[in-house]
Amino acid sequence: MSRRVKVDITVPNQTKYLGVIGRIGESMAYSLKGYRGNRRELAYHLNLVLTEALANAICHANNCDPDKDVRVLISASDQDLTIKVFDQGQGFDIDALAQHKAPKGAEGGRGIQIIFKLMDRVRYLQEGDQNVLEMTKYF
């Protein structure tokens, strides 16, 4: 059984880091040994999921407070890839958000739904004094 690859990054709670983290996810898509699907598509999807989850943590959970940090942990094996995004906010009801369908002309409310569409398992948990949005893709 091969070892898991882990990337653990902490960035300031600022949206200018979205692109940096998103591109790390893209790069990982091209290095996954066990993945048999369309890597270009997976790269875009990992970039997107990371961007959505991180923007949610920065802008909503952490209230755009630039003095806070956001931690992202990406972990991959031959069978799966898991992304964890930690926040220091009040938490939210992810199931309610998942079930809420954005009206056709709504400006917002699509981020979490995009994550649910693209990942196989999505959970919002508490780990110590932080919340973590955990998203897994199985190969």
Partner 1 sequence: MQLKMTEQGDIVSLTVEEERMDAHNSGDLKEQMLQLFDEGKCNLVIDLSAVRFIDSSGLGALVSGFKNASAREGNLKLCCLQPQVHSMFELTRLHRVFEIFANLDEALDSF
Q: Is the dihedral of CA 22, 24, 28, 29 positive or negative?
A: positive
* Neighbour order of strands in the sheet with 80-87: 5-12, 69-76, 80-87, 130-138, 121-127
- To partner 1, the closest distance from the beta carbon of 128 in angstroms equals 26
Please identify, using beta-carbon distances, which residue of 44 and 92 lies nearer to partner 1.
Answer: 44
Listed in sequence order, the DSSP H helices in the chain are: 18-31, 39-55, 94-99, 111-118
Site membership for partner 1, residue 6 (CB under 8 A): no
Site membership for partner 1, residue 87 (CB under 8 A): no
- Residue 3: CB partners within 8 Å, gap ≥ 6? 77
Of 51-59, 75-83, 86-94, 129-137, the segment contacting partner 1 by CB under 8 A is 51-59
Bridge partners of 84, per DSSP, are: 73, 134
x/- string (CB under 8 A) for partner 1, residues 103-132?
-xxxxx-xx--x--x---------------
Q: CB of 64 within 8 A of CB of 74?
A: no
Of 37-45, 75-83, 90-98, 121-129, the segment contacting partner 1 by CB under 8 A is 37-45
Residue ranges binding partner 1 (CB under 8 A):
15-16, 18-19, 22, 40-41, 44, 47-48, 51-52, 55, 58-59, 104-108, 110-111, 114, 117
